[in-house]
Every structure is written in structure tokens, then in C-alpha cells.
Amino acid sequence: MSDLSTWASERNLLRLAKRGQVEAARSLMSLLLKPGHALAWRILRNQADAEEVVQEAVFQLWRSAEQFVGKSSLKTYFMKIVIRECHSFLKYRRQQEDFDTLNETHEEIAPFQIDLRLHQEIIQHSLEKLSSKQRMALVLWAFHDMTAEEIGLVMDLNKNAVDQLLWRAKVSLRKELAQR
């Protein structure tokens, strides 16, 4: 099946789901929810926040169903919505959050888990210092195996802009990690 016919069938699937056809909605959700949630979790690093963002992204997909013309795959279109929602969520959270509070856990932790958590926290802290665009591009590239062209489609950027964004993100991340 060609990309064109796949995209046409995805457009029809979206329209059928919006009209209330249960099987179409199930197919649509099985196609989109897992990768959408994985992307949101990698950006936000919080299960509840990722679920909230994906729920809002599904709502936005439903609202914009008529605007989907099939110039890209439905998955790419949805990922773009998820990224936009993650960006909005992060922006809102920064306005509401006191940056001095840390999540404390009171559970028993084995010594090797402490070391692993420390490394994860260092990496997460370093990722958080990147701009949201850099972090999103890096997450799409590193964790979702997307090419610069695919990332460009999702983020509304050309390939050169994505390449520069990824290069800057890697340089910044390397510098930040080297200081640790």
C-alpha cells in the first residue's frame, strides 16, 4: 500500500471515528495512544502529566479532524499535537511551580538503585536545562528514532533547522554533563 493510500485511509478512519463508529475509534486509539503517551512521558517524565497531555491531544485531534488533509501520516499529525500540548503544559507548569521543591521518596532503596537514580536525575536535570524545542527534537531523535525530516514535519521546521537544533542540544547536553 502506498503512503498516499495509507494517508487517505487514515483520514477516513479519523472521520469515521469522529462520526461515532466504535471500531474506527478503537483502531484509531490503538494506532495513536501508545506512541503519543511514550512521547509525552519522555518529554514530561511524569506518568500522570503524560496521560493528561495525551488526553488533551486526543481532544484536539477530534476538534481538528476536518483540518487533517493527509499531507503526513495521522501518527505524525497526532505527534505534532502531543508536542504542542507538552510545550503548553511545560509553559503552564513553569508559571505555577516553585522550582525549589523536589520530589522526595521515602522508600527503601538498594545502593545500586541509588547510583542508577542519581545518574537518571543528572541526565534529567541536564535535559531540563535545554530549551523545550531542543528537548523535544532530541527526544524524538533519540527515543523515537525519527529522522530530521520527520522531526521537521512534527515540529514545523525544515531539515536544516532540525539539524541545527539537534546539534545545539547535543553540545549543550555534553557541556552540562561534563560539568557533573
Using a pLDDT cut of 90, give the percent of the chain over it: 24
Tell me what the mean pLDDT of segment 75-82 comes to: 91
Q: What is the dihedral of CA 92, 98, 100, 101, to 10 degrees?
A: -90
Mean pLDDT over 40-59 rounds to: 91
What whole-number distance in Å separates Cα of residue 141 and Cα of residue 101?
Answer: 30
Residue range 9-23, pLDDT digits in tens = 888 888 898 888 899
User: How is residue 109 written as a grid cell?
Assistant: 532503596
Residue 123 sits at the vertex; the CA angle it makes with 42 and 43, to the nearest 5 degrees, is 15
| Spatial separation of the C-alpha atoms in residues 159 and 137, rounded to whole Å | 11
The residues, ordered by sequence, that sit 6+ positions from 124 with a Cβ below 8 Å of its Cβ are 45
Reduce the DSSP state of residue 171 to 3 states and report it: helix
- Please say whether the beta carbons of 74 and 31 come within 8 A: yes
The DSSP line for 8-63 is HHHHHHHHHHHTT-HHHHHHHHHHHHHHHHHHHHHHH--HHHHHHHHHHHHHHHHH
- pLDDT score recorded for residue 95: 55
State the pTM of this model: 0.60
- In the prediction, which pLDDT does 98 show? 43
